[in-house]
Amino acid sequence: MSFQINTNVPSLNNGVNLNQNTLHLNRSVGALSSGSNLSQASFDAAGLAIANKLMSQVLSLGQEIMNANDSIGMIQVADGGMQAISDNTDRIRVLTLQASNGTMNADSRATIQKEIDALVESSDDIANSTSYNGIALLDGSNTTTTSGADARSSALFASPIDVTTEAGRSAALDTLDTANTNINDIRATLGASQNQLESRIQNISLTQVNVAAAESQMRDVDFAAESANFSKNNILSQIGSFVQSQANASASNTMRLFQ
């Protein structure tokens, strides 16, 4: 009969289990302390790669939302300029009708004409100076965000406004009708662009929320479940350590029998 006393098989088996429990325990500690299931690539390399891609997508979608909001801000600046030009045009119409009053003399109409000329100049100043971050919005040069909107008098008015003559006053009303149509067309285009951007922001925001939820599902730790895992692995580790010490003691006692 032969005896094998040099190899402590129970101790080796328990050591394997103890090491495995220690790994699980360390993972639970890492997850609970960091709040992440993926605090180390060794925990789930594939899951970490997917979660990182999802986070990158979330950040990209966030930047798209910021870009769209910036564009809306630009459109609102342009529309504010158009509102001021529209107010000037309405005032010019009132002055034109005032100049058509039969009680007006030539000097009165000349005074009205000066105010009209000042309003036209003011509108041109607005069209030429309205900008966003250095980008001109209403002088016809911006063909992207404001679709080439041109609110200068040369574009709005088919002919100069002249209320000093009867023929000029008659033509001025038609010119102002055309100008108002042009102004309304520009503002309608701006409004449509803003609506499209707002709709895009809504869609992107919904996508961002869903992607962020998927990323969180993969990365964020379930504290209740992980706490249970920690308790289980901690108990198993303590039991394993006790069993290991007993197995080692048993082997030592067996060796003493042969001494």
Q: Which of 11-20, 141-150, 167-176 has the lowest mean pLDDT?
A: 11-20
Q: How confident is the model at residue 1 (pLDDT cuts 50, 70, 90)?
A: very low
Is 188 domain-assigned? Answer: yes
On whether residue 234 sits in a domain, the answer given is no
Helix (H) or strand (E) holding 130: none
Q: What is the mean pLDDT of residues 36-57?
A: 74
CB 172 within 8 A of CB 199: no
* Residue 149 falls inside a structural domain: yes
Q: What is the pLDDT of residue 227?
A: 59
The reply to whether 55 falls in a domain is: yes
What average pLDDT score do residues 181-191 get? 95
Q: Which range of residues forms the domain containing residue 185? A: 47-223
Asked whether residue 19 is domain-assigned, the answer is no
**Please, what's the b/e burial string for 24-33 (b: 16 or more CB within 10 A of its CB; e: otherwise)?**
bbebbebbbe
CATH number of the CATH domain containing 132: 1.20.1330.10
Average pLDDT, the chain: 80
Contact (CB, 8 A) for 120 and 161: yes
**Number of domains within the chain:** 1
Q: How far apart are CA 172 and CA 169, in angstroms?
A: 5
Question: Residue 91 falls within a domain, yes or no?
Answer: yes
Assigned domain for 238 exists: no
User: What CA–CA distance (Å, rounded) separates 236 from 26?
Assistant: 13
Give me the phi and psi of 234, to 5 degrees please: -65, -45
Q: Does residue 130 register a pLDDT over 70?
A: yes
What is the predicted pLDDT for the residue at 223?
Answer: 47
Residue 158's pLDDT is what? 85
Query: 18 in a domain, yes or no?
Result: no
What integer pLDDT is reported at residue 206 of this predicted model?
A: 95
